[in-house]
Amino acid sequence: MDKTFVIFKPDCMAKGLVGQVLARFESAGFSIAAAKMIQLTPEKLREHYAHVADKPFFPEIAEFMGSRPVIVAVLKGEGVVAKVRDLLGPTDSTKAPAGTIRGDLGENMMINVCHASDSDENAQIETDRFFDPAEVLG
């Protein structure tokens, strides 16, 4: 079964949007294979955002993502990696169309509700970063 890794970001947690975001994923046919609430550590954030670690906005992202506990989860279902990215819309919430999660609920490039993996390979790497294999339903 296809799987993707998502983070319900601090804005999603603070605004009480987890339920409605998850409902959109579930309504699209996806289910939870793993989930837990954690505080992202500087070490995990450096790993997760290694691809933007040299960007000037990295310290701001690290501060934002570590500002409160988040929910990390694995979603499963046919075509889940691409479909969840479609449901979220583009990274920049101001450019995300109405009807997408970021278009409806996000604020900007950083305050954008949810992270989701961009490939099967990264979904596996990111899942392994945050979950033991035994925690993830097959």
Ligand X SMILES: Nc1ncnc2c1ncn2[C@@H]1O[C@H](COP(=O)(O)OP(=O)(O)OP(=O)(O)O)[C@@H](O)[C@H]1O
Q: Output 57 or 86, the one with its CB closest to ligand X.
A: 57
Catalytic, out of 115, 127, 130, 131:
115
| Nearest distance in Å: CB 61, ligand X | 5
| Residue 115 annotated to the active site | yes
CB atoms within 10 A of CB 84: 24
**Least CB distance from residue 1 to ligand X, whole Å?**
21
- Of the pair 82, 109, the CB lying nearest ligand X is at 109
Sequence-distant (≥ 6) Cβ neighbours of residue 9 within 8 angstroms: 64, 65, 70, 111, 112, 113, 114, 115
112 is in an annotated binding site: yes
Burial 45-73 (b: 16+ CB within 10 A, else e): beebbeeeeeeeeeeebbebbbeeebbbb
Dihedral angle of Cα 127, 116, 21, 25, to the nearest 10 degrees: -80
Is 102 annotated as contributing to ligand binding?
yes
The answer to whether 91 is a known ligand-binding residue is yes
Residues making contact with ligand X (CB under 6 A): 52, 57, 61, 91, 109-110, 112, 115-116, 118
Residues flagged as binding site for ATP: 9, 57, 85, 91, 102, 112
Q: Please give the positions annotated as active site.
A: 115
